[in-house]
Amino acid sequence: MSVAEEGAPAGEVGATPQRAWVRPTFGRRIKWRLEQGIYVAFEAALGVLPLIWLAGFGRALGGVAYRIFPRRRRTVERNLRIAFAGERAPEELKVMAQEVFRRSGANLLCSFGTAGKDPATTVDTLTMHGEERLRDALAPGKGVVLVIAHMGNWEAMAQWLPRLIPPGVKAANIYRPLNNPWLDARVLATRSRQGLRLFSKDESPLAMAAFVRAGGVLSIMSDQRAGIAGELVPFFGRITSATPLPAILARRTGAALLGVSLRTRSTGRWALEFHAPEEVHLPTAGVMRFLEQIMRVSAEDVFWFQDRWRSGRKAPQRLDGRVARGEVPAASKWRRVLLWADAAGQWPIAPAAVPADVRYERTGRAEDGDWQRAPGEAVRAFLERIDSGAVLPLDYVVGGGAEVRAACRGLGLGWVEGTA
């Protein structure tokens, strides 16, 4: 039985027909209603406040969050260490991480506030650059694929993109439907009012290709880990699973490929810029290089809170994803793996890493290149010392038993038992 049959607003949940809903319990429906009421009240309250106030308050909240959420702080700092290894000093990355928290707080609150405002009242909050690139890309009439990242006030971009394209040209983006169907319906309604169509991530790529082929502009968030459906390609030099969708759509439809950056130019003010790649018909690896350039426009405005280069918890030696056309991707930034010696001083045999982009380090013997625990040093403190002992962060540990495994879990590291 569908949610609509269980009392959801008719026609609203039907906007995402691809989702298969189990029959919700009475308690779940009450929970959904409470979440909807809180969200609507929160959005309405923020909508009456000037964006400059919201940005200032959001920055303050982000600064507090940096101090009280150590797990999130580690994720952001780890991502920045990988992305800017060899480019920025550790002290610079610490400062950068704090600014990421502040701007993310400001951008998040302002996105909620922007959704509740009349777009006419936010005209002066966004400046545009590179509109001629969008006009040139639309001129052949074959559509445009926009490569975007979680960056800046994304609600402002959602409101303004339909206004930047000529009459008769449609705009759309791909989104993940919310678990709460009433909130999902509200998001769909808000974006639809601005002339933006939403494709569920579960919809057929053929429907997206048809939309682009008809001359539409489709925005694709490309900075998230794509899992087993993605291609293994370098991103900021580290191999990861990336969505192949922008490259596939552009190649098969003949659409132009553009990128969009959104940076903070002052408190409560943003600059949106269109970017064109130097090459055409980019493969997935080329699209990710292009995305790097876009994100570097203002790295502090990027939402770095997803563990972008995370290894799998059960088998961290294997990266999810597939190799495109049988080509083994080359990494300029390897994964660091620690081999933990047993009581007899023997190192475990690490399972084969796929891809083979790892560098092994050892512990347990007094030899050059090994890591030694100080007397009485806790396992977690020892791992933190190893992690900070190089430019790149530690990825996973092989061997060491239950105590090491628990410490790895607490630090967000992978762990493999290994063999003797």
Q: pLDDT tens per residue, the chain (420 residues)?
A: 333 333 444 333 334 444 455 678 988 999 999 999 998 898 888 888 999 999 999 999 999 999 999 999 999 999 999 999 999 999 999 999 999 999 999 999 999 888 877 777 777 888 999 999 999 999 999 999 999 999 999 888 877 888 888 888 999 999 888 889 988 888 888 777 778 889 998 899 999 999 999 999 999 999 998 988 899 999 999 999 999 999 999 999 999 999 999 999 999 999 999 999 998 889 999 999 999 999 999 999 999 999 899 877 789 999 988 887 766 678 899 999 999 998 888 899 999 999 999 999 998 655 556 888 888 899 999 999 999 999 999 999 999 999 999 999 999 999 999 876
Q: Report the number of secondary-structure helices (H) and strands (E) in the chain.
A: 12, 14
The strand pairing partners of 174, in sequence order, are 199
Contact 363, 373 (CB under 8 A): yes
Amino acid letter, 416: V
Where would I find the H helices in 48-116? 51-68, 70-83, 90-115
Structure-block tokens of residue 164: 């930047």
Partnered with residue 151 across adjacent β-strands are: 302
Give the Cα separation of 203 and 126 in Å (integer): 32
- CA 167 remoteness from chain centre: 32
DSSP-based three-state secondary structure for 97: helix
What is residue 23's predicted lDDT score, i.e. its pLDDT?
A: 77
Strands 269-275 and 335-340: unpaired
The pLDDT of residue 284: 94
Name which of 262, 255, 265, 305 is nearest 412 in CA terms: 305
Q: Report CA 381 to chain centroid distance, whole Å.
A: 29
Q: What is the pLDDT of residue 11?
A: 36
DSSP 77: H
> Do 269 and 125 contact (CB within 8 A), yes or no?
yes
Residue 420 pLDDT: 61
223 CB-near residues (< 8 Å, 6+ apart): 149, 150, 151, 291, 295, 302, 308
Residue 1 exposed, middle or buried by CB count within 10 Å (0-12, 13-18, 19+): exposed
| Strand, coil or helix: 129 | strand
Could you tell me the CA-to-CA distances from 64 to 50, 67, 98, 232 in Å, in that order?
Answer: 22, 5, 10, 36
Q: What's the CA gap between 253 and 275, in Å, rounded?
A: 20
In single-letter form, the type of residue at position 55 comes to A
105 and 266 Cβ atoms separated by less than 8 Å: no
Q: What gap in Å lies between CA 209 and CA 191, rounded to an integer?
A: 21
Task: Tell me whether the omega of the peptide bond preceding residue 355 falls within 30 degrees of 0, making it cis.
Answer: yes
Determine the distance from the C-alpha atom of residue 116 to the mean position of all C-alpha atoms in its chain, rounded to a whole number. 24
State the Cα–Cα distance between residues 236 and 214, nearest whole angstrom.
34
User: Nearest Cα to 328, choosing from 235, 229, 234?
Assistant: 234
pLDDT score, position 397: 96
Contact status, residue 19 vs residue 200, Cβ threshold 8 Å: yes
CA nearest neighbour of 362 among 403, 417, 401, 399? 399
DSSP state letter for 169: -
259: nearest Cα among 219, 313, 229? 219
